[in-house]
Amino acid sequence: MNHTIEVPHRRFNPLTGQWVLVSTGRTQRPWTGQTDAVVASDRPEYDPDCYLCPGNTRAGGVDNPQYDSTFVFTNDFASLNPLTPDVAVSDHPLLQAHSEHGTCRVICFSPRHDLTLANMPAAAVRATVELWASQVEELSASYEWVQVFENRGELMGASNPHPHGQIWAGSALPTLPGLEDSHQLAYTTDTGRLLLSDYLDEELTDGSRIVVDGEAWVVLVPYWAVWPYETMVLPKESIGHLDDTTNAQRDDLAAVLQKLLGRYDALFSRSFPYSMGWHGRHADHWTLHGHFFPPLMGPDRQKFMVGYEMLAEAQRDISAEDAADRLRSVGERT
């Protein structure tokens, strides 16, 4: 099917039930962006003032160990606490509230202050994948939802350039995963199949939105992408969550992520900001997937979700196919 629709149109996100307005008229101009990858870091390998570097004292007064791979600690300023009691805050139908317990962790991807997931050695990215999987396994025994994520870059509010992410785990199913849960369940109930498996089959047949086609994982710009260079990471064999992956799948995930992040950095010749995270659940109707939401439209141009987006619905003006094409055509970093 030809999806190169040039008139303004709306696309449907079957995972959440939300629509996005696509106005591609302005994007028919030729692509003149920089394509060479020059992303030099001027940061030191070790920063004595960084609260995440090995051996340093954190803001809460605790000393980090001299870690030499990955490192996890409970967030000193956690938004969720495991000891919060179950209390009914309100029973008014229009003023609903209930207490929420959980935990928040910070995960350092590397002891090296100057690296990012995009330019770390392959073994370090693989170690990060391993850490994500083991954290999901541990925390999903106690919590309903485990959200692994990374805010990269000041533009996304990252408080420190040291390569790190976060995990928040809580007793409730949050709003967005809740939408993905109900839409995947309805699809499986209706068809007996998996929504994201069927979707990936369509994408692999079409090919126009594929960015990286690995052994076990595919990165694509979703048909319903909202952010200009938004991507989704999908397993070729459907699995529920990161801890369900085999070693071979973990190896390939690290390789595929490096390819994606190399392309992101090469796109505008700068360290590419984003928020990324994993959505997965140990349930038969679920397919694990990663979302990357980068805010940039150009090297120094940010997409603002304001006005129409805040009041009506999301809008984009570069087509998903065009974004995928640009990400495919930039050189991978070696």
Residues that bind ligand H2U (CB under 6 A): 51, 58-60, 75-77, 106, 151, 158-160, 166
Nearer to Zn ion, 117 or 318 (CB): 117
Residue nearest to Zn ion (CB): 50
Q: Does the protein bind Zn ion through residue 52 (CB under 5 A)?
A: yes
Shortest Cβ 178–Zn ion spacing (Å): 35
Nearer to ligand H2U, 166 or 249 (CB): 166
**Contact by Cβ (8 Å): 13, 6:** no
Q: Does the protein bind Zn ion through residue 124 (CB under 5 A)?
A: no
Q: Does the protein bind Zn ion through residue 113 (CB under 5 A)?
A: yes
Q: Does the protein bind Zn ion through residue 239 (CB under 5 A)?
A: no
Q: Rounded distance, CA 261 to CA 284, Å?
A: 30
Nearer to ligand H2U, 50 or 210 (CB): 50
Shortest Cβ 281–ligand H2U spacing (Å): 23
Shortest Cβ 62–Zn ion spacing (Å): 15
CA atoms within 13 A on the CB side of 123: 2
Nearer to Zn ion, 161 or 222 (CB): 161
Q: Does the protein bind Zn ion through residue 73 (CB under 5 A)?
A: no
Q: Is 22 helix (H, G, I), strand (E, B) or coil?
A: strand
Shortest Cβ 164–ligand H2U spacing (Å): 6
Per the listing, tokens 């979703």 go with 222
According to the 3-state scheme, what is the secondary structure of the chain?
Answer: CCCCCCCCEEEEECCCCEEEEECHHHHCCCCCCCCCCCCCCCCCCCCCCCCCCCCCECCCCCECCCCCCCEEEECCCCCCCCCCCCCEEECCCCCCEECCCEEEEEEECCCCCCCCCCCCCHHHHHHHHHHHHHHHHHHHCCCCEEEEEEEECHHHCCCCCCCEEEEEEECCCCHHHHHHHHHHHHHHHHHCCCHHHHHHHHHHHHCCCEEEECCCEEEECCCCCCCCCCEEEEECCCCCCHHHCCHHHHHHHHHHHHHHHHHHHHHCCCCCCEEEEEECCCCCCCCCEEEEECCEEECCEECCCCCHHHHCCEEECCCHHHHHHHHHHCCCCC
Shortest Cβ 88–Zn ion spacing (Å): 43
**Contact by Cβ (8 Å): 136, 73:** no
Nearer to ligand H2U, 139 or 200 (CB): 139
Q: Does the protein bind Zn ion through residue 50 (CB under 5 A)?
A: yes
Q: Does the protein bind Zn ion through residue 221 (CB under 5 A)?
A: no
Size of the site for Zn ion (CB under 5 A): 6
Nearer to Zn ion, 160 or 188 (CB): 160
Q: Does the protein bind Zn ion through residue 53 (CB under 5 A)?
A: yes
Shortest Cβ 78–ligand H2U spacing (Å): 7
* Partner from ligand H2U, Zn ion, none contacting 50, C-beta within 5 to 8 A by type: Zn ion
* Partner from ligand H2U, Zn ion, none contacting 113, C-beta within 5 to 8 A by type: Zn ion
Which range, of 9-17, 42-50, 214-222, 267-275, touches Zn ion by CB under 5 A?
42-50
* Partner from Zn ion, ligand H2U, none contacting 162, C-beta within 5 to 8 A by type: Zn ion
Among all residues, which ones are annotated catalytic? 164
23-to-33, 224, 315 alpha-carbon distances in Å? 20, 13, 7
Q: Does the protein bind Zn ion through residue 164 (CB under 5 A)?
A: no
* Partner from ligand H2U, Zn ion, none contacting 159, C-beta within 5 to 8 A by type: ligand H2U
Q: Footprint of Zn ion on this chain (CB under 5 A)? A: 47, 50, 52-53, 113, 162
